[in-house]
Amino acid sequence: MTARLIAAIALFLGAAGAALAQDRCEGLRFDQLIEPRTADYASFGDDSVDEVFSVRVSRGTGRQRCRAFLSFTSDLAGGGERFMSGPQGGRLRYELLDEAGALIGDGARNRDRVNFRFERDETEREILVRLSMPAGQTVPAGVYSERITARLFDRRGGGRLTDERGLSLRAAVASRAEVNLARQPGLSFSAGRSYDVVDFGELETGESRAIVVRVRSNAAYRISLESENLGQLVRRGGSGAPSDRIAYSARLDGDGLDLTSPVLALRDPLASGAAEELVFDVVIGDVGAARAGSYADLITVTVEPVR
């Protein structure tokens, strides 16, 4: 009985020794972190923006397999989300994904790290990480940045920190402004049109019509309005005589416009990315001396960000 007991203990110790031999991560460290390049992110865009960066780690010479993991922490992250900070308190949300596309930092799924393993006689390993900024974010124009810390752990004993490095994430958000037209307020921006017709039917003195000029921008913007006929309705096929022209008055958001020359105005957005609705209304002047026919004018509305 004694001999059997000793043999069993010897077998147990031998198995423990083999397990340790297969899990050596001595000298585990970062060799190189190649930071992602500054990403170009477009407000109002439909596509996410991705940049890939690499982390190269190594260990001391070893002939056995070894298990380790990599994590990324940030002082700004909260509630499971990561974000870069930028101008005017803007926050650009981003995600870190592993090579398989799984989210790094998903606490609900215990995905707060990247697990990897050195095979036998392997002393270096390169790990690719994808920085992804989801589409549809509307943030003020400017440069956004975040400083994160990469930490390297030996998985033995629940995780032993062996090295850590800091790296920077950056994204440049360009100034952008867009305009469209709508027959009524409150529509989604995508429901607007780039061209519309305001039809008065049979013209009468003092008759009025309005259309909504809708602008969204992530920076201060310049709006211009230019009348093809310098603020007059002109009879199609006419000779240009005074009887072929009908004057009209126009206002934008309550401000009178002199359309005998291009009108320029500088405006700040109500909120970055929010659609601002400006009412453009027209009142027909005296039509008593006008000849019969169809009258028209073309108003071109342009917006551009002020860089």
DSSP string, 158-211: G-EEEEEEEEEEEEEE---EEEEEESSTT--GGG-BS------SS--TT-EEEE
User: pLDDT value at position 21?
Assistant: 47
Other beta carbons less than 10 A from residue 10's beta carbon: 10
Euclidean distance between CA atoms 225 and 302, whole angstroms: 7
Euclidean distance between CA atoms 40 and 143, whole angstroms: 10
Same fold, 25-173 and 177-305: yes
CATH of domain 25-173: 2.60.40.2040
Euclidean distance between CA atoms 141 and 88, whole angstroms: 9
**Domain residue limits, the chain:** 25-173, 177-305
| Helix, strand, or coil (residue 62) | coil
Rounded mean pLDDT for each run of 10 residues along the chain, 307 residues in total: 38 40 77 93 89 94 86 72 91 93 68 86 93 92 94 88 94 93 86 90 96 92 96 93 96 95 90 84 96 96 91
User: pLDDT value at position 81?
Assistant: 83
CATH of domain 177-305: 2.60.40.1090
Euclidean distance between CA atoms 126 and 54, whole angstroms: 7
What tokens does 266 get? 């500088």
User: pLDDT value at position 9?
Assistant: 33
pTM for the structure as a whole: 0.75
The label of the residue with tokens 């650009």 reads 92
What tokens does 24 get? 């050596």
Euclidean distance between CA atoms 192 and 296, whole angstroms: 22
